[in-house]
Structures are given as C-alpha cells and as structure tokens.
Structure 1
C-alpha cells in the first residue's frame, strides 16, 4: 500500500473509531469551525457574492470526509430527472483533474487527468451534460448554454458562491458522523448543526448511529460485472472469473467496496489506495493470474492499462420510495409560477 494511502486509512480509522489522541487537535478544530462560520456569514450577508441560476439547482453533498455513496445518488438523480422530462446537467469541481481551460465540458473520451475520475464516470453513466469548473457559477452558466433546465451540483454543499434550491446530504450509514468533530480532529466538514438547514438527509445503508430525524434511506445495489478494457458486461449473479480475486479501490471508503465483494461470495485480497489514486500498470500487477476487480470510479482511469483480467463492479443507487415521492413534490413546488418568475428577471 502506498504511503499516502496508509496515512489516509490511519486517519480515517482514527476519526471513525474516536481515537483519544485526536483531542490534541482541538485548537485547530476551533480555528476551522470559526473560519467556516465566518465564511457562511459573509455569504449570507452579501459580503461575498452568490450567483443564483435561472433554473433549479440541486446540491448533492456531504458533511463528512471518507466517501458516502454520493456519486451513485448523483447518477440516479440525473437519470430520474431525465425520465421525468427534465434536461439535467451535472456540475463538478473535478477534484484531482487539471485542465488548461475552464469550464470543461466532459465527454466520454475526456482524459480523467483533465476532468477528474468522478465527472468522467458520471458522464459515461448518465449521458447528460457534465461540466467541470472550480468556479461553480461559471460552470453553471456553461450548462445553461447546453440547454439544461435543472442543475445538479455534485459535492457542492460547501461551495456557497452558487445559489441552490435544494440541498441533499448523503451520509454513510455504517460509519455515520464518526466522532462528531470537525476537521482536523474529526471527519466533519461542517458541524452537525448544518444539517438543520439542509432539505433532506439520505442515509446510505443500514445506520449504526442515531440519525437526525427525518431522514431517507438509500441502498447501493450491484448490477453487473464490466470488463474494463472493452466494457463487456455479465450479470452480477454469474462472475466471469473463478477463485480468489485481487480487489483494488482508490475511493474514500475502500472497506465498503471490499465488504460488497465479500457479500457477493468472492474470496478477496484487498488492495486499498488513496482516494482519487492515479493508477499505473504496476498497481494492477500482482504476479499471478487472478482476476482484478475494481470500482467504476477507478475503472475510468484504468481502461488504457487494464487487460482482460480486470473487471469493474457497477452499482446503482436505489433511494426509498418515500424520498422519490418527496422529491417529486418539491420539484413541482420549485417549478411553480412564483419560482419561474426568477428566470424572467
């Protein structure tokens, strides 16, 4: 395991098991909390500008570090909105990507090194316009030029320069909010009190902590195996390989992926990497003939270096019906005559 991955896994473990030594970081946590509070007040008071799009903006984010299942929900939301007759677009920061020019319209063949792994994955999975821009309002305007009539801001909860109409927060049910402390003493990007101002809390998987009420539940359901080099698919019930496998994961919570493989009956040798890891051929070579399985997010970076042994497990988010009903009602409210008057200003 790489040094960065070792440090990341160690720190995440400390946050989520409540290691006592994290109390030493309390002064830094207080400074962080003060800075976040002052920043939010500056936007609320108008001292920092907020740009409001003339169409609805749905933010999907989290208040914890370490992976929550946010991206599958974004993909589900984009597809569901398309089925309802909307023309959605996805806006992303494009973490770990670097482009010479922004905003960047992400296509199926855009290098992940330019746009980041998650935007490329979402563009391929959903087929809707995806734009990457560290300046969120600028990226949102680019999506409007694409004809989008509703925007999904991926991981946009803390990007307050872009106005929003709905805030959806995703939390990992198994790990919850860890020790409940803010960075760097805990995994929280914002204090738990922030949830009171959000529109919906979505819990991914069965919760092991008491969650603030109300909340909705969501599951990640494995759909099929996909060979990374040519996109050949087989049903998840019939793995296209036999015996033990190597499992690689460069995501925020690798253990969840390994647990999913275990639940599917695979004998797994896990290989966790840092989130957004830039894979090389050596990372997929283990000196034997075993199959290598990975997440869809990692697969977009491995297509050119993967051989026939490499397979991705594609999953989809399945929110509970009550959440879908709630969302439909809220969207009808957003599209009311009073709301649409904003687009004519």
Structure 2
C-alpha cells in the first residue's frame, strides 16, 4: 500500500466551490443551462440541450481538478493538422487528479448510469483509492461532473447528496456529454490523470509524485458517443505528453518513465474506436495498460535527471480525428 498522505490536505470541495459559482454566474455567455431538481439540487447542462462550448469545458475541467490545477487552451505546432492543445498543470497532481478528477464513482438508477468525477467523490470516499490516499473530504456543498447525455433521475440525485453528506440543495451536478464541445475539452484535460492512474497501477508510491505538467491535442467533437469516445481517448493515447516530477531514487523514476507510455500496451497502434469494436464494445476486455499518454518524461528531483519514453503517433490521430 502507498504511504498515506497527511490528513491536513486541503478540501477539494471548498477549493472548487468558487469555481462552480463562477461557472454558474457566466452560464448565459458560456451557453449553459442551469435548472434545479425537485428538492433544489443544481443541474448544469453543458451539452445535452444547452450548446456549451470550449471555454465551458475548460472551466469544468478546473472544477474536476478540485481547485488544484489550471487548464488552458493553447496553440502549438506539435501536429500538422491539430494545432490546439489542452494544457494542464497541477501543484498537487495526486490530489487534483486522483482524489478529484478521476471518474471513479459508479452511479446507477434504473436505466441511467454514469461515472462521477470531481470534488464530490472525496466527500463520499468509498472507493478503495481513498483508503490508499488516506484522505476524506468534508464540506458543506458538493459538486460532481457526469459524462452523460441524459439528465439524472430524482432518486439518484437525492442519494448522491446523502452519500456526500450535504443537503440536496447544496449539490451541483454538471452534465457534459462526450460528443459535446465542453465534454471533449474536459475529457482531454484528463491526460495527466491517466498517467497518475497508470503510475498507481504500476505500484509507484503516489506520495513521491510532487508536481506535473501535461497536454494533449484538442480533437473535433463527433456526433455520436462511440466516435467521440474514440477521439478523446486517442488524443491522450497518441498525442498526449506528461511530465512528472518525483522524489526518490532516480532508478525508480527511470522505471516509471519506461512503463507509462501507451506504446507498452498490446492494444496500441489503432484508433481507439477500432480497438473498441474489435472487443465487441466490451470496454473491460481491453488491455487496461493502454490508457496512458503517448509520451512521458519523469524527472528525479533528487538528482535532476530526466527520463523520457514513448512517441507521438500523428498517423493514428489523423485517422481518428478526420
């Protein structure tokens, strides 16, 4: 088990709360719709009926990071056709990415299913990951981001509030369909979280990951869920770049760097949509090691040496995005 973090970690819900209020205050200009459930939970539609957009997705991505990261949309010459990157920085990538941004809370009610991400997860804190992090949040309000194309049912909304330990009218749910502009941005902004999740799977001690930078190309949205899911995954798998700064022996930093890139997976080399179809749509039959950035650099803070592995694959991006 990883070394537990000190319990005095900041509240990701409290850090994200002003970002949520700022998002809602700009709802009209961001093309968002804000409604309320029967008991007063706030529902922010960022792409189901409302149009949403790129700036909304950027702000939602920062909310997902629990106030522990910044997200920018920047021009870059990394690829010939795809010249815009989603860039992510975090001063505390383990907390921002794993304790908040990671879509780890399974939510179901009748035919409705979604994975919850964002700071509200740390209020529930029933995932095994929180035991390993040694962290559970406490706050008066809760926010979750759901990657869905339908509104959640009332019983589920009430249960989420109960599980977060907040009144229903202090709960905000932000809905971002994968096919939407906002959904595309907030999913691609998970490029560093994907690297952190794989570092965890490789049993690298999470408390040694001190800082991080990441980026991935912004793909065009797709009109249906499967194509949109393929493009947003390919942005990371074949175009993502992550730089982690870690404590500990440089030999272990080198091993981490060699194991992180997506090219280490048996399923690497085709657009995600083709891989998904080859497994008959069974997400869990795919190699979990595929979900990684294309290129990774790990810097050992103890010695200052950096280790880089992986490479971009523009040809696959062109097949996927075009």
Query: Same fold judged by TM-score > 0.5?
Result: no
TM-score, L = length of structure 2: 0.30
TM-score, L = length of structure 1: 0.28
- Which structure's CA Rg is the greater one? 1
Tell me which of the two structures has the higher relative contact order, counting C-alpha pairs closer than 8 angstroms and 6 or more residues apart. Answer: 1
